[in-house]
Copies of this chain bind each other. A is one copy, B any other.
């Protein structure tokens, strides 16, 4: 009888939280555009003309995943890919008018959904919620991308 209580396992909680969010997104925001897709649209509204890799960095998606997400958005006519004339390896990404419209529409609905999602928490608790999750995520990310010591002894 060595079973463990998963409700104190942050990984399990993170997965449940994402599931809950996924459900709410589907009912309150969009069934076509997913949350990661919206994040990509949003990144390109903020910085039009980014390349694929950088968009991935902005929204936290790896090279393979970002490629698929972008290919879907492109297939639906929400963004354009153009070869960078300065650097033939890159594709420059830019929202279409349709992409802009979609982003605008979803921004409103997303705000409404976030309100519903966070409604069980008071304003102070919401701030705590953001802060705690961010600190844990940042720290874990830091563990994997260790800061190079100055005057490195690598050589």
Contacts and interface: CB of A to CB of B under 8 A. Distances in A.
* Binding site secondary structure of chain A: helix
Interface in A25-79: 25, 27, 35-36, 39, 42-43, 45-46, 59-60
A19 interface: yes
Contacts of A116: 143
A141 interface: yes
Contacts of A36: 15
A133 to B, nearest CB: 5
Contacts of A25: 11
A135 B134 CA distance: 18
Contact of A39 (B12, B42, B136): B12
Interface in A104-144: 104, 107, 110, 114, 116-121, 125, 128-130, 132-141, 143-144
Contacts of A60: 12, 15-16, 19
Contact of A17 (B24, B46, B136): B136
A133 B2 contact: no
